[in-house]
């Protein structure tokens, strides 16, 4: 849809009037493309930039910046919103302790479009509200369209999002290089990921929220959510408490049923069978614990992290509304003086003495009621609505079914946290990745080490299946005392602070999603030899 320049000018003038505090009617508010089209279309990249420009030229009291450039060469816009306005990480640090920093991103998967629309609407509405609101108590960093390239790879919903009820034309899942950005948080192969990690390192948000759409299971929830699923996440349990409160608020304040993210079936159920409905299965199972996924990664950094998944079979307008309500409630909870849970991030920064570096789905799931929409299988080959498979008819009737809920993971490998990891200088790829993850590696201190341990590799196997063009290695072995001293030129990484679990996950040889997993130690590992990254206890703590 081409916009008429005169109309655009009129809209800009109207916005300017709104933000300058003059009288205006509701019809003059800047509208998202979803709103303008009656929720038949979603915003293009150009629409998002134009909407943000409208906010800026209209005088919205925000900082507008660029996260970085995508693989396809597009700038990824972000907005910082707070009153008074905080523009830089340095300014944010001066109000740290009183104001949480909340980072919310939409559209990491290009066809899952409601997070983008909800964030644009939220930025507009928060700026327009005359009364005090959450912006007086927190710092919001919003990235409405993170996967800018995927957003522009438009195609029919039947192809790009087969189990989603509109809009008719949406983007696709990966970025311009074909990478799924929500598998990239450890290997950081995409420029989008590197830009996001640099933003995390600079701002150190207290809460990270990632907005998605479900993949098709016909459950009975308008929105499903997940805490960080890795058992090493320091604030995983704290996040579950937040989510219980958010579930209650969604029900009582918005009449929206929400629940832990999942699909029908168990981990062994073929994916395609999981998607239809519960009739053939009797379990509810979440996704994955590994930190290649955004919220699991952010949890390992010591933060609170929340995955939001709007129900793909709801009409687009309702999905936007559910996502909007959920984000708004997260912001409200983050500043609730009774909750003030976010402060616990810093209490959680004292690392445990040991952490898991590998896990599997729990063998002891709780039994819970799961809400299910009853469906009729008509035997007919006609499609009854977009995103619904032929022969499936929804009824709008719901029932609760008791079933095991596999919503968590149990550790399979637990390691003692060392004082430091010792890294030989030749591992430049490892050292570079640590810097990308915001972890400092310093030249080894000139102090003696009380003890150095090395991991004796007994076996090196590769997984059968190929993931992201790789067969992942698995090593087995044991830690033994090393005969070799720390050499001049070695680097050490202190295992302290909120990121201790992430450091262990990146560097430990038995980690199921570390730097070894992603090839940064290729050629360095062989049976019978020592793993090149060692663990040490210096006589004195190295200077930070
Ligand atoms: Zn997604």
Q: Look at residues 355, 389, 83, 331 and name the one whose alpha carbon lies nearest to residue 233.
A: 355
Element housing 326 (H / E): helix 316-334
- CA of residue 108 to ligand 1 center, whole Å: 7
- CA of residue 445 to ligand 1 center, whole Å: 44
- CA of residue 214 to ligand 1 center, whole Å: 7
Mean pLDDT for the stretch of residues 251-263: 97
Which residue do the tokens 């990235």 mark?
143
DSSP 307: E
Q: Are 340 and 97 in contact (CB under 8 A)?
A: no
If one compares 372 and 429, the residue with the highest pLDDT of the two is 429
Res. 133: pLDDT tops 80: yes
Among 53-62, 112-121, 330-339, the range scoring the smallest mean pLDDT is 330-339
- CA of residue 295 to ligand 1 center, whole Å: 12
Q: How far apart are the first and last CA of the chain?
A: 56
- CA of residue 12 to ligand 1 center, whole Å: 33
Res. 3: pLDDT tops 50: no
- CA of residue 111 to ligand 1 center, whole Å: 8
CA 110 to chain centre: 14
Mean pLDDT for the stretch of residues 299-304: 94
Among 313-327, 347-361, 362-376, 436-450, the range scoring the smallest mean pLDDT is 347-361
Mean pLDDT for the stretch of residues 459-468: 84
Compute the half-sphere exposure of residue 417: CA atoms within 13 Å on the CB side of its CA.
23
Mean pLDDT for the stretch of residues 129-145: 95
- CA of residue 538 to ligand 1 center, whole Å: 44
Mean pLDDT for the stretch of residues 334-355: 67
Q: In this predicted structure, what is the pLDDT of residue 7?
A: 52
- CA of residue 225 to ligand 1 center, whole Å: 12
Query: Residues, the chain, total?
Result: 544
Among 10-19, 50-59, 304-313, the range scoring the smallest mean pLDDT is 10-19
Q: Look at residues 227, 249, 248 and name the one whose alpha carbon lies nearest to residue 308.
A: 227
Backbone dihedral region of 478: left (phi > 0), alpha (psi from -120 to 50 degrees) or beta?
A: beta
- Whole-number Å distance between alpha carbons of 355 and 456: 20
The DSSP annotation for 63-82 comes to EEEEEEE-TTS-EEEEEEE-
- CA of residue 112 to ligand 1 center, whole Å: 6
- CA of residue 320 to ligand 1 center, whole Å: 15
- CA of residue 459 to ligand 1 center, whole Å: 36
- CA of residue 149 to ligand 1 center, whole Å: 15
- CA of residue 308 to ligand 1 center, whole Å: 9
Q: In this predicted structure, what is the pLDDT of residue 469?
A: 73
Q: How confident is the model at residue 544 (pLDDT cuts 50, 70, 90)?
A: very low
Q: How confident is the model at residue 281 (pLDDT cuts 50, 70, 90)?
A: low
- CA of residue 172 to ligand 1 center, whole Å: 10
- CA of residue 307 to ligand 1 center, whole Å: 9
- CA of residue 102 to ligand 1 center, whole Å: 20
Strand-strand pairing, 258-260 and 169-170: unpaired
- CA of residue 399 to ligand 1 center, whole Å: 26
Mean pLDDT for the stretch of residues 110-136: 96
- CA of residue 340 to ligand 1 center, whole Å: 29
Among 105-119, 232-246, 330-344, 420-434, the range scoring the smallest mean pLDDT is 330-344
If one compares 509 and 539, the residue with the highest pLDDT of the two is 509
The DSSP annotation for 340-384 comes to -GGGHHHHTTS--SEEEEEEEE-SSPPEEEEEEEEEEE-------
Q: In this predicted structure, what is the pLDDT of residue 393?
A: 87
Among 100-114, 132-146, 184-198, 365-379, the range scoring the smallest mean pLDDT is 365-379
Alpha carbon separation from 521 to 20, 89, 100, 145, 384 (Å, rounded) = 57, 33, 37, 33, 51
Q: How confident is the model at residue 24 (pLDDT cuts 50, 70, 90)?
A: very low
- CA of residue 105 to ligand 1 center, whole Å: 12
Res. 349: pLDDT tops 70: no
Mean pLDDT for the stretch of residues 334-350: 62
Residues of the chain with pLDDT > 90, as a percent, come to: 74
- CA of residue 63 to ligand 1 center, whole Å: 27
- Whole-number Å distance between alpha carbons of 530 and 524: 9
- Whole-number Å distance between alpha carbons of 386 and 359: 38
| DSSP three-state, residue 277 | coil
- CA of residue 210 to ligand 1 center, whole Å: 9
Q: In this predicted structure, what is the pLDDT of residue 160?
A: 95
Q: Check the CA dihedral 49-50-51-57 and report its sign.
A: positive
- CA of residue 407 to ligand 1 center, whole Å: 18
- CA of residue 387 to ligand 1 center, whole Å: 15
Helical residues (DSSP H) of 465-544, grouped into ranges: 500-507
Res. 17: pLDDT tops 90: no
If one compares 7 and 415, the residue with the highest pLDDT of the two is 415
- CA of residue 211 to ligand 1 center, whole Å: 8
- CA of residue 182 to ligand 1 center, whole Å: 8
* Rg of the chain over all Cα atoms, to the nearest angstrom: 24
- CA of residue 13 to ligand 1 center, whole Å: 37
- CA of residue 404 to ligand 1 center, whole Å: 24
- CA of residue 475 to ligand 1 center, whole Å: 31
Neighbours of ion ligand 1 (CB under 5 A): 109, 112, 212
Q: Look at residues 235, 314, 222, 300 and name the one whose alpha carbon lies nearest to residue 261.
A: 222
| DSSP three-state, residue 253 | helix
- Whole-number Å distance between alpha carbons of 333 and 339: 7
What rounded mean pLDDT belongs to the chain? Answer: 89
Residues of the chain with pLDDT > 70, as a percent, come to: 89
- CA of residue 382 to ligand 1 center, whole Å: 27
- CA of residue 401 to ligand 1 center, whole Å: 26
Q: What is the pLDDT of residues 228-242, one digit of tens each?
A: 999 999 999 989 999
Compute the half-sphere exposure of residue 149: CA atoms within 13 Å on the CB side of its CA.
18
Res. 27: pLDDT tops 50: no
Q: How confident is the model at residue 522 (pLDDT cuts 50, 70, 90)?
A: very high
- CA of residue 185 to ligand 1 center, whole Å: 14
Q: In this predicted structure, what is the pLDDT of residue 537?
A: 86
């Amino acid at each position: 849809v081409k916009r008429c320049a005169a109309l655009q000018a009129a809209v800009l003038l109207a916005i300017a009037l709104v933000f300058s505090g003059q009288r205006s009617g509701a019809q003059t508010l800047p509208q998202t493309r979803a709103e303008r089209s009656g929720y038949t279309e979603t915003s293009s990249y150009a629409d998002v930039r134009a909407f943000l420009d409208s906010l800026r030229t209209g005088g919205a009291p925000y900082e507008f910046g660029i996260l970085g450039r995508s693989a396809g060469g597009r700038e990824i816009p972000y907005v910082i919103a707070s009153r008074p306005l905080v523009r830089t990480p340095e300014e944010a640090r001066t109000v740290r302790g009183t104001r949480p920093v909340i980072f919310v991103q939409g559209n990491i998967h290009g066809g899952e479009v409601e997070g983008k629309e909800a964030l644009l609407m939220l930025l507009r509405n928060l700026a327009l509200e005359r009364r005090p609101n959450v912006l007086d108590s927190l710092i919001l960093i919003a990235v409405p369209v993170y996967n800018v390239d995927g957003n522009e790879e438009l195609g029919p919903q039947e192809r790009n999002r087969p189990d989603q009820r509109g809009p008719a034309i949406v983007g696709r899942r990966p970025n311009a290089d074909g990478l799924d950005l929500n598998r990239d948080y450890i290997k950081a192969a995409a420029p989008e990921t590197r830009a996001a990690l640099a933003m995390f390192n600079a701002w150190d948000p207290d809460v990270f929220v990632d907005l998605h759409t479900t993949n098709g299971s016909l459950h009975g929830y308008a929105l499903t959510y997940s805490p960080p699923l890795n058992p090493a996440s320091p604030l995983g349990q704290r996040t579950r408490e937040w989510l219980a409160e958010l579930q209650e608020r969604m029900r009582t304040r918005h009449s929206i049923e929400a629940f832990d993210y999942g699909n029908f079936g168990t981990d062994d159920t073929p994916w395609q069978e999981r998607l239809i409905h519960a009739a053939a299965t009797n379990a509810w199972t979440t996704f994955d614990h590994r930190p290649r996924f955004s919220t699991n990664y952010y949890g390992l950094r010591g933060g609170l992290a929340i995955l939001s998944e709007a129900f793909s079979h709801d009409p687009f307008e309702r999905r936007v509304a559910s996502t909007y309500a959920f984000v708004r409630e997260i912001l409200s909870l983050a500043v609730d003086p009774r909750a003030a849970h976010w402060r616990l991030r810093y209490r959680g920064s004292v690392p445990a003495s040991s952490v898991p570096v590998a896990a599997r789905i729990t063998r002891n799931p709780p039994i819970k009621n799961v809400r299910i929409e009853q469906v009729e299988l008509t035997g007919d080959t006609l499609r009854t609505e977009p995103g619904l498979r032929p022969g499936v008819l929804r009824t709008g009737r719901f029932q609760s079914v008791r079933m095991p809920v596999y919503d968590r993971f149990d550790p399979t490998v637990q390691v003692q946290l060392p004082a430091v990891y010792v890294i030989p200088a030749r591992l430049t790829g490892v050292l570079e990745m640590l810097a990308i993850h915001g972890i400092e590696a310093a030249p080894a201190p000139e102090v003696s080490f009380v003890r150095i341990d090395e991991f004796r590799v007994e076996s090196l196997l590769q997984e059968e299946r190929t993931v992201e063009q790789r067969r992942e290695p698995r090593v087995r072995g044991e830690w033994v005392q090393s005969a070799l001293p720390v050499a001049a030129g070695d680097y050490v990484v202190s295992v302290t602070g909120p990121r201790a679990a992430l450091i262990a996950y990146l560097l430990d040889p038995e980690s199921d999603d570390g730097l070894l997993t992603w090839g940064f130690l290729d050629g360095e590992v062989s049976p019978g030899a020592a793993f090149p990254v060692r663990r040490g206890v210096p006589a004195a703590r190295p200077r930070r």
